[in-house]
Amino acid sequence: MGRDAARRRRLARSSPHRAIVAVLLAMGLCASFLFTLVVPIQARLPELLNASRDDTAWVLTATLLASAVVTPISGRLGDMYGKRRVILALLIVTMCGSLVIALTSNVAIVIAGRALQGAMSGVIPLGIAVMRDVLPASRVDSAIAMMSATLGVGSAVGLPASALITEYADWHALFWVTTLLCAIAFGLVLWIIPVSVLRTEGRFDYLGAIGLAAALICILLAISRGDSWGWLSPTTLITGISGLIIALLWGWYQLRAAEPLLDLRVAARRPVLLTNLASISLGFALFASNVVYPQVLEQPVSGGVGFGLTLFSASLIIMPSGVLMMLLSPVAGRLARHVGPKLLLVIGAASLILAYGYSIAFHDEVWQILVANLLIGVGIGFGYASMPMLIMRSVPQGETGASNGLNALCRALGTSGAAAVMGAILATSSAESATGMPTASGYQLTFIVSIIAAAVALTLALLIPQRPTAERHPALPEGV
């Protein structure tokens, strides 16, 4: 009887934690799905919105810019005013963006709606910070690994779901679905997630937020639009250089501000800096696979390289990598607890090198692309799980929201760079091809560049100290 009573007490104590993790994971899946739902209609946007291709490109660019700006700023707001409160605000903004798009076919309004949807990017780093605040130390690593896995799972599962919805229903249905998902997530967060009690005192740095937003918008505009504007065009150069100048001035101001938006001294600590730099490289290596593998699967067989699959069929080849990420997340959590998260990052980067090296040697059959994507799943599953763990072991608890937001921003910079570089390589390959489609040598070059990016991430991972020297999670056991 005594054992049964103790077991019931343990279950009662663990049930709220399980509910919190379940809600945060559902929210993460919703966020990652939102960023893939336009993929099935991307090529048809000029027709659907009755606009030029240059105008419809802003449907994707607007989300990229908004998410880059929102992520680090919302992290700081969460540290100061409560993570639950900021998550609820982000869900409301995202829901409004989805509803706006669901009700219109005007390109300008759709772009504005997609910018509002970019707010959803802030919920994953905030959700990870919530996990550190409310979960016992024994559960934190596994929960973070699962939350990180939602980035891949939501995209992998969401792509075929989006393709099916687009094929059998009006495209506006995609955004009715996201409106409903955001409303459900809002209700669950309001009901299950506790009010934040760990908050950082002080005033919000509005000037720092404006400066960061201006720098990011200029830099990401130059990266994302450089291919269409021309990489050496005055517009691209002026925009990019202006962004770098603003970033330098912003950094100078942040180091002198009494209450900065981001504490750059914390960000400059060796484990934090190296992790963030590795995040850029790992984000690049991940998104390269999102650009290259779907394109080669869908490219017509007549070009001599592609497999001629439909979007839905191609998404089924991509999907298992995301599912594998979720299956590996408990393993990642246990490994991090016993040997530390540094090893996870090393394994993740090494798996990406192996995946792209495999693709160079074996790329003639669909099943070979599937194997490469499974290796990508291993790499991203371990790599993305490790980064928030490394960050949170190296920053004070009052900085977790902002520091996780900065780390997410670094991943976004990597993915933006990959989209631009891979797009430019494949476009150049297409221009030089008699068929007007990317050639085998073009795809091979993308694999080589991806290997280099993953190798940079591996090198940086090896340089991260095994034991963080900054403030650790108060409940972590010694030696981890």
Residues 283-342 pLDDT 10s: 899 888 888 888 888 888 877 788 888 888 888 888 888 888 888 888 888 888 888 899
pLDDT of 267: 85
What's the rounded mean pLDDT across residues 411-418?
85
pLDDT grade for 480, boundaries at 50, 70 and 90: very low
Using alpha carbons, list the distances in angstroms from residue 340 to 91, 284, 333, 445, 455.
Answer: 33, 24, 9, 34, 21
Mean of all residue pLDDT scores within the chain: 85
**Distance (Å, rounded) from C-alpha 115 to C-alpha 126?**
19
Q: Which residues contact 199 (CB under 8 A, 6 or more apart)?
A: 79, 80, 81, 82, 398
pLDDT of 259: 86
What's the rounded mean pLDDT across residues 381-407?
83
- Whether the pLDDT of residue 10 is over 70: the answer is no
pLDDT grade for 3, boundaries at 50, 70 and 90: low
pLDDT of 223: 87
Q: Is there a contact between 152 and 381 (Cβ–Cβ < 8 Å)?
A: yes
Q: Is there a contact between 51 and 107 (Cβ–Cβ < 8 Å)?
A: yes
Q: What are phi and psi of 173, to 5 degrees?
A: -60, -30
Residues 260-285 pLDDT 10s: 888 888 888 888 999 999 999 998 99
2-11, 43-52, 82-91: range with highest mean pLDDT: 82-91
- Whether the pLDDT of residue 418 is over 70: the answer is yes
- Whether the pLDDT of residue 438 is over 70: the answer is yes
Q: Is there a contact between 82 and 195 (Cβ–Cβ < 8 Å)?
A: yes
Q: Is there a contact between 60 and 227 (Cβ–Cβ < 8 Å)?
A: no
pLDDT of 110: 93
DSSP 184-202: HHHHHHHHHSPPP-----S
Using alpha carbons, list the distances in angstroms from residue 427 to 63, 360, 415, 437.
Answer: 23, 19, 18, 8
Report which residue type is found at 341. Answer: P
Which residue pairs from 204-207 have beta carbons closer than 8 angstroms and sit at least 24 positions apart in sequence?
A: 204/76, 204/77, 204/80, 204/261, 205/76, 205/254, 205/257, 205/259, 205/260, 205/261, 207/253, 207/257
Percent of the chain having pLDDT more than 90? 34
Residues 120-161 pLDDT 10s: 988 988 988 888 888 887 788 888 888 888 877 777 777 788
| 222 vs 431, residue with greater confidence | 222
pLDDT of 200: 74
pLDDT of 15: 63
SS3 229: helix
**Distance (Å, rounded) from C-alpha 147 to C-alpha 329?**
9
Residues 332-378 pLDDT 10s: 888 888 888 999 999 999 999 999 999 999 988 999 999 999 999 99
pTM over 0.95: no
Q: What are phi and psi of 367, to 5 degrees?
A: -65, -25
